[in-house]
Amino acid sequence: MATTETMTLNMGPQHPSTHGVLRLVLELDGEVITKITPHIGYLHRGVEKLSEYRTYHQILPLTDRLDYLAPMSNNLGYILAVEKLMAVEVPERAETIRIIMAELTRLQSHLVWIACHALDIGAMTVFIYAFRERETIMEIYELISGARMTSNFFRVGGLSQDVPDEFVKKVSDFIDVMPGYLDQYEGLLTTNPIWLKRTIGNGVISAEDAIDFGITGPALRGSGVDLDLRRDNPYGGYEKYQFQVPVGENCDTFDRYKVRLVEMREACKIVRQGLERLKPGPVLADCPQVCYPPKESVYNSIEGLIHHFKIASEGFPAPEGEVYQGVEAPKGELGFYIVSDGGNKPERLRIRPPSFVNLQAIEKMSKGTMIADLVAVIGTLDIVLGEIDR
Amino acid sequence: MAENNRAVLQLKEKFAASIIDVVEFRGEVTVTVKKDSIIEILSFLKHSLQYNLLTDLTAVDYLGKKEERYMMVYQLYSIPSKDRLRIKTPVNEADCRIPSATQVWRTANWLEREVFDLFGITFDNHPDLRRILMTDDWEGHPLRKDYPLQGPDREPYKGRLS
């Protein structure tokens, strides 16, 4: 009599569709998955530990490197947490530029998602197209911060510097053409029979399960839960902007795809509103205890130089207490929890990474399906290992 | 104010003996409770007060600063009423264990594994308590305050000499 037994298959950490160094140990019955054991931590750099030894200004560059596909969203979350702790008011111009950049970052992150997700399921053209548009956003990054990925552009109390004059035109031109490009992607995917076969009914997770697993962001909205922190707990000035929050119905990969596409269109609208609100003015709060002095005064006066030196080397003491700031990052709720003991360094900095929490549901979403469908689930969860491992 | 918070009112009524402290700072309400009743309180908050999303679970090491060395921190969010609540509970170094919240939220699984890995706090009744970020054979718990930043086998970095 023939007997069957399950097979253990190792997937990753070096694997094109695991989006980084994720290792999955799969238990297979034929081609059907019966158990998934994820192994993470290959990219662990101890950011939370390092932060306990750095001043509040010095931690900012570390946050770029968490979700490296959305650096400014990470910067924003951290900066807002520190500003909440220090009770610093940010000038309107800085707030507006932050929101423009946060939404461009959302577009950038979602472009990488659609590119890699489609490539994983066999649609290569979208990858080339989406990376073309991403390049424009990287150029905007380079224009304002000098770096394409590790932007380090925001500061506690505002921005490191004002944006150059060509910024408005460059962003405006991009937002004019972006919806047309989104139509192109939709033309390639939304009615594509192969895409539909691969995504409809794939990776189903009910609303109750999604909440139970702590899933946030587009993955939660794809399961029909109407939660968006930008609208429900506005931060950093989002209460002044009008936008729709898309919600899915069928809890599958296709609905999450549709949710993210609508989010990209809404992000374009928010950027447009931001450009309309952009008025000349200061970009750094008038709060010398906390903020860096303007560069002109550093270069031209001894007081400015001393001030800069003091803030750069010693930082600023924060009041004793603890704050949590959650922001709607492209991948879900990104939270920064700071415990201060009154010193110039945090007693504890906890980063709540959306990808880490979302990845936990991978077994629930792909148990009983084929290996090829697991690749689609990894794509739809939109994980970044830099953020998971920290 | 914190005293009028809907959760604080209910908790004071139901679990008066377990509440150690209620603090409001920058508009965020933190309730510190005793470790014995933590699961009871969390599931009451989840089922009766609709704090249905466990956003985050972590720990803080107060070595030499507080009598009870560790503090467990639970960040709760209520999707229906869109508000947050932070629950904390102290954990003693001598009895470095706490009941697992996985029976209330499945998301607590990995979050507790991370705390176990980086702080060395044991979770009772956890279904799969293994290290998660560090390798299985790692010694020590990196986020403890007495764990050196450079790692246990290296000289501390003293800055560049030149």
Query: pLDDT by residue (tens digit) across A294-330?
Result: 888 899 999 999 999 998 888 888 899 899 999 999 9
Residues A52, A349 contacting (CB under 8 angstroms): yes
Average pLDDT value for residue range B78-95? 89
Q: Do B54 and A322 touch (CB under 8 A)?
A: no
How confident is the model over A218-227, as pLDDT tens digits? Answer: 989 988 898 9
DSSP A161-225: SPPPTHHHHHHHHHHHHHHHHHHHHHHHHTT-HHHHHHHTTSS---HHHHHHTT--THHHHHTT-
| 3-class SS letters over A320-375 | CEEEEEEEEECCEEEEEEEEECCCCCCCEEEEECHHHHHHCCHHHHHCCCEHHHHH
Q: Which residue of A has its CA nearest to B148?
A: A49
Instruction: Determine which of B57, B103, B110, B149 to mutate to test the interface with A (most A C-beta atoms within 10 Å).
Output: B110
pLDDT for A67 equals 87
Residues from chain B that touch A46, judged by Cβ atoms under 8 A, are: 142
**Torsions phi, psi for B65 (to 5 deg):** -110, -25
In angstroms, rounded to a whole number, what is the distance separating the alpha carbons of residues A27 and A31?
Answer: 10
In angstroms, rounded to a whole number, what is the distance separating the alpha carbons of residues A351 and B115?
Answer: 13
In angstroms, rounded to a whole number, what is the distance separating the alpha carbons of residues B58 and B125?
Answer: 18
Q: Which residue of B has its CA nearest to A325?
A: B28
In angstroms, rounded to a whole number, what is the distance separating the alpha carbons of residues A317 and A385?
Answer: 33
Q: How close is the nearest chain A Cα to the Cα of B36, in Å?
A: 23
Query: In this structure, what token pair is assigned to residue A311?
Result: 């803030």
Compare CB distances from A333 to B55, B111, B147 and report the shortest one's residue. B55
Q: Do B73 and A337 touch (CB under 8 A)?
A: yes
Q: Do B55 and A335 touch (CB under 8 A)?
A: yes
Q: How close is the nearest chain A Cα to the Cα of B80, in Å?
A: 9
Q: How close is the nearest chain B Cα to the Cα of A317, in Å?
A: 17
Average pLDDT value for residue range B140-146? 89
Portion of chain B with pLDDT greater than 70, in percent: 95
pLDDT for A13 equals 83
> ∠ CA A319-B88-A354 to the nearest 5 degrees?
85
Compare CB distances from B58 to A41, A211, A350 and report the shortest one's residue. A350
SS3 call for B132: coil
| Cβ atoms within 10 Å of A369's Cβ, excluding its own | 18
Compare CB distances from B58 to A212, A337, A360 and report the shortest one's residue. A337
Average pLDDT value for residue range A80-89? 90
pLDDT for A171 equals 92
Q: How close is the nearest chain B Cα to the Cα of A327, in Å?
A: 12
Average pLDDT value for residue range A247-267? 90
Q: How close is the nearest chain A Cα to the Cα of B14, in Å?
A: 25
Complex-level ipTM beyond the 0.85 threshold: yes
Is B63's Cβ below 8 Å from some Cβ in A?
no
How confident is the model over B63-75, as pLDDT tens digits? Answer: 888 888 899 999 9
Q: Do B149 and A85 touch (CB under 8 A)?
A: no
> ∠ CA B31-B36-B39 to the nearest 5 degrees?
70
pLDDT of A1 strictly over 80: no
pLDDT for B1 equals 57
Residues from chain B that touch A360, judged by Cβ atoms under 8 A, are: 106-107, 109-110
Report chain A residues touching chain B, CB-CB < 8 A. 40-41, 44, 46, 48-50, 53, 84-85, 87, 211-214, 216, 225, 227, 232-233, 321-324, 326, 333, 335, 337, 339, 341, 347-348, 350, 352, 356-357, 360, 389-390
Is B106's Cβ below 8 Å from some Cβ in A?
yes
Q: Do β-strands A158-159 and A154-155 pair in parallel, antiparallel, or remain unpaired?
A: antiparallel
Q: Do A321 and B26 touch (CB under 8 A)?
A: yes
Q: Compute the residue count for chain A.
A: 390
Q: Do B73 and A214 touch (CB under 8 A)?
A: no
In angstroms, rounded to a whole number, what is the distance separating the alpha carbons of residues B80 and B5?
Answer: 16
pLDDT for B146 equals 87
pLDDT of A337 strictly over 90: yes
Half-sphere exposure of A78 (CA within 13 A, CB side): 31
In angstroms, rounded to a whole number, what is the distance separating the alpha carbons of residues A200 and A214?
Answer: 23
Residues from chain A that touch B111, judged by Cβ atoms under 8 A, are: 214, 357
pLDDT for B161 equals 60
pLDDT for B3 equals 65
pLDDT of A7 strictly over 90: no
Query: In this structure, what token pair is assigned to residue B122?
Result: 């044991």
In angstroms, rounded to a whole number, what is the distance separating the alpha carbons of residues A32 and A264?
Answer: 34
Q: Do B65 and A341 touch (CB under 8 A)?
A: yes
Compare CB distances from A214 to B25, B62, B105 and report the shortest one's residue. B105
Instruction: Determine which of B55, B57, B71, B119 to mutate to test the interface with A (most A C-beta atoms within 10 Å).
Output: B55
How confident is the model over A144-192, as pLDDT tens digits? Answer: 988 888 888 998 988 988 899 899 999 999 999 999 999 988 888 888 8
In angstroms, rounded to a whole number, what is the distance separating the alpha carbons of residues A221 and A247?
Answer: 5
Q: How many whole angstroms from its chain centre is CA A361?
A: 19
pLDDT of B162 strictly over 60: no
Give the Å distances, CA to CA, from B5 to B2, B28, B50, B84, B85: 5, 10, 14, 10, 9
Query: In this structure, what token pair is assigned to residue A193?
Result: 């029979």
